[in-house]
Amino acid sequence: MSDLLKYAIELAAVLLLALGIKGLSKVRSARGANQLAAVAMALAVAGLLLNYLSTSGLSLAAWTWIIAGTLVGGVLGAITAQRVPMTSMPETVALFNGCGGMSSLLVALAAALYPAALDATGPVALVSIVVSVFVGSITFTGSIVAMAKLQGWLSTPSWMQSKLRHVVNIALAVAALVGAVEMIRNADSGTGLWLLVVSSSLLGIGVTLPIGGADMPVVISLLNSYSGVAAAAAGFVVGSQLLIVAGAMVGAAGLILTQVMCNGMNRSLISVLFGGALGAGSAAGGGGGEYTNITSCSVEECALTLEAAERVVIVPGYGLAVAQAQHTLREVTRVLETAGIDVAYAIHPVAGRMPGHMNVLLAEADVPYEQLKEMDQINPEFPAADVVLVLGANDVVNPQAKSDPNSPLYGMPVLDVQEARTVFVVKRGMSAGYSGIKNDLFELVNTSMLFGDAKKVLGDLLVELKDLGLGKK
């Protein structure tokens, strides 16, 4: 294959990848853009294989190992992508991302152990290997910890929430630096390499573990950016310009997306990374977590109130996603709509488990796109709402965020549900939200609590509404 053709394929692949990322940021073009990026990736792989086929050729052993790796990784990836429920999207992205980091790490390890075979000698290659190992390790362990925390497999040990963690993390960072310097000074000894691998892996854990669940999406986005950086570094190691461009693009785009997400949550990246879990601060402050004035009601009362309403706003949250109740919710709102009741959904920027996650879940349940209202759009409309149904949301409807400057939540954008005539809160129990902070909303006179799993409560509500004769037209 001529060099010209090789460069043409690489250029085409870069162009398609760039168009893919660009298109992914518009609702209309997103799906096509994703497919375009996939085509670009296939083109890049085909180009690389063709290039080697026409020059050095591929040995039988090489083919065998390529096919083995492709089958195992590809099939597992496809199965995971098809099987995973929409509610587990955040941890899925984290898992995929961690594997990307692992891949860069392994390539860098291969280059460090067998530099001659991969032409990875000289200071430039060494520095690239160091960067790739460092970022790859952090991406891998950080993503896996993020996944485990989101799945509820891991909780944060208490010492990790104290200031001590900064000392530990700084020590790990220093150890990684020592390993890196040792590796560059004395490439033949393996000590530096393994010190670097171990300390940066531990650093990935130490940095991610203290971060609270609500901030996890930001961290995943940041780690996604890191995996781009790791890929770019791997590009330096094996001398592939395409890899450098693509990695740099993902790294930069990931950084922008992280910033956009932070803005949406009114959090600075620094406070996400170093602030630790919100709960730690509030527990120390001792802001009385006891509820004294709770009104709870039956599903029947709720149904009667809904029947009399003209305008209902649904506030779906994390609890809805966990209970996988979006389909039941859709049936309830269908019944309300046929009875002529106006229904809207108030979507907080971080509703669900990740920005945009709730939109995906409701779209899955066939909720019309126009009924989804963003926070700025719906907040002025709450005073006109007869009933607000809060489904498994907590911190995003806490009025403290606006009223109490001492609250750790203060300044976070929230939905002003308390402005509505009646508020029903469906919740499993009186446990606190992610932040661990008491929610003043639950004690207000116009708030009634409906205790139970969101799916079950909505199912009962559906029965009650039908008994009242709604939805029969």
Partner 1 sequence: MFVEFLWVLLLGSLLGFELIGKVPPTLHTPLMSGANAISGITVLAALTAIIKAGDNTALLLLGSVSLGFALFNVIGGFLVTDRMLAMFSRKPARKENR
Subset of 44-63 contacting partner 1 (CB under 8 A): 44-45, 48-49, 52, 56, 58-59, 61-62
**Residues numbered 27-46 forming contacts with partner 1, rule: CB under 8 A:** 27, 30-31, 33-35, 37-38, 41, 44-45
Binding-site size for partner 1 (CB under 8 A) equals 116
As a whole number of angstroms, the distance between CA 95 and CA 100 comes to 9
Among residues 340, 369, 405, 431, which is the contact residue for partner 1, using CB under 8 A?
Answer: 369
Q: Which is nearer to partner 1, 73 or 289 (CB)?
A: 73
Q: Which is nearer to partner 1, 371 or 446 (CB)?
A: 371
**Residues numbered 308-367 forming contacts with partner 1, rule: CB under 8 A:** 347, 349, 354-357, 359-360, 363-364, 366
Per-residue x/- track, 275-314, partner 1 (CB under 8 A): ----------------------------------------
Q: Which two tokens stand for residue 2?
A: 């001529």
**Residues numbered 68-87 forming contacts with partner 1, rule: CB under 8 A:** 68-70, 72-74, 76-78, 80-82, 84, 86
Residue 212 half-sphere exposure toward CB, CA atoms < 13 A: 19
Q: Least Å distance between CB 126 and partner 1?
A: 12
Q: Does 269 bind partner 1 (CB under 8 A)?
A: no
Q: Does 124 bind partner 1 (CB under 8 A)?
A: yes
Choices 155-163, 249-257, 318-326, 452-460; region in contact with partner 1 by CB under 8 A:
249-257
Q: Least Å distance between CB 53 and partner 1?
A: 9
Q: Does 261 bind partner 1 (CB under 8 A)?
A: yes
Q: Does 413 bind partner 1 (CB under 8 A)?
A: no
Among residues 206, 251, 399, 408, which is the contact residue for partner 1, using CB under 8 A?
Answer: 251
Per-residue x/- track, 138-177, partner 1 (CB under 8 A): ----------------------------------------
Per-residue x/- track, 178-217, partner 1 (CB under 8 A): ---------------------------------------x
**Is residue 122 a contact partner of residue 187, using CB atoms and an 8 Å limit?**
no
What angle in degrees, to the nearest 10, is found between the helix axes of 123-151 and 164-185? 150
**Residues numbered 219-238 forming contacts with partner 1, rule: CB under 8 A:** 220-221, 224, 227-228, 230-232, 234-238
Residues annotated catalytic, as ranges: 395
Q: Does 396 bind partner 1 (CB under 8 A)?
A: no
